[in-house]
Structure 1
Amino acid sequence: MPVFVKKVLAWGSLAFLIYFMAFRPEGAAQMFKAIGAALMMMAQGLGDFLTSLMT
């Protein structure tokens, strides 16, 4: 993908994120909570996997 397209997509994503947080803060908070919960579940699964390898 050309560098210009990547820059446009990155700035567009940032603009959407700022707009979303400014005009729908409750929805943005719920989205970030869901993303955080998913990341925690993945980290817990990885930890469980590594623990089971060691035992």
Structure 2
Amino acid sequence: MPVFVKKLLTWGSVAFLIYFVAFRPDGAAQMFKAIGAALMAMFQGLGDFLTTLMT
């Protein structure tokens, strides 16, 4: 992927994130909360797997 396209996509993503947080703070908070819950569930599952594997 050309460097220009990568920079354009990166800055576009940052601009969208700022816009989303500025104009839809409730939606942004819910989205980040859902992402955090999903990550916690994945790591909890990995921890349970490793615990079971060690015992």
Using structure 2 for the length normalisation, give the TM-score.
0.95
Aligned-pair identity in percent equals: 85
Point out where structure 1 has 5 or more consecutive residues left out of the alignment. none
Structure 1: distance between partners of 2:48 and 2:3: 39
Q: Deviations over 1:5-38 (max 9, x none)?
A: 1111110000000000000000000000000000
Tell me what 1:27 maps to.
27
Residue identity matched to 1:10: T
Q: CA RMSD in A?
A: 0.6
Tell me what 1:7 maps to.
7
Using structure 1 for the length normalisation, give the TM-score.
0.95
Shift of 1:2: 1.5
Point out where structure 2 has 5 or more consecutive residues left out of the alignment. none
Structure 1 stretches of 4+ moved >6 Å: none
